Amino acid sequence: MRIETVDAVSDELSSTIISPEWAEVCRGYDLANLSDVVWVLRDDADSPVFVVGVFKFAMVGLMPTMWIMVCKDFYKSPFKNLRELRELINVPLNIYKKLEGRVNKKNTIAHKFIRFVGFVPEFETENEIIYRLG
């Protein structure tokens, strides 16, 4: 797997994202402009497997927030891709030292996923559980 930095989430790239709602967010808001940095993680066939970014808030004291979107080719080798993502998570962690992740309380799969990557639950809001890494 290789990681590349991208300047924009193109329509072609957003069309590979599994969740139609999040693909629309990518197209409609251009997450690359809203994020401090965006990476695409590609498998050995050069297909996108994950799109990962970090929002760095301007307000002092707020932790950078990581977002991860799963692409359709993730399912070609899910266990291998998860293991490699777990290793590649060090790239943003080396830049930001501490990261936050937010997951809707109802999304049980996302909770398992974010814990596997290494985040630990920190506190809850009305609708989300806030995770921290680093």
pLDDT tens per residue across span 63-88: 898 888 888 998 899 889 888 888 88
- Residue 13, CA distances (Å) to 80, 104, 133, 134 in order: 21, 24, 27, 29
Model pLDDT, residue 69: 83
**Please, what is the Cα angle at 88 between 84 and 94, to 5 degrees?**
160
Q: Which residues contact 7 (CB under 8 A, 6 or more apart)?
A: 32, 38
Q: Which two tokens stand for residue 24?
A: 């629309």
Does pLDDT of 114 surpass 80?
yes
Distance CA 90, CA 94 (A): 6
- Beta strand pairing call for 48-55 and 99-104: unpaired
Q: Which pLDDT tens digit goes with each residue over 5-18?
A: 887 777 777 777 77
How far apart are the C-alpha atoms of 38 and 36, rounded to whole Å?
Answer: 7
pLDDT on residue 21: 65
Beta strands in 22-118, from DSSP E residues, in sequence order: 37-42, 48-55, 65-70, 99-104
User: What pLDDT does residue 65 have?
Assistant: 87
CA distances from 16 to 71, 72, 121 (A): 5, 6, 29
**What confidence tier does 45 reach under pLDDT thresholds 50, 70, 90?**
very high
CATH number at residue 80: 3.40.630.30
Q: What is the pLDDT of residue 68?
A: 85
**Domains: count for the chain:** 1
Domain extent at residue 75: 2-133
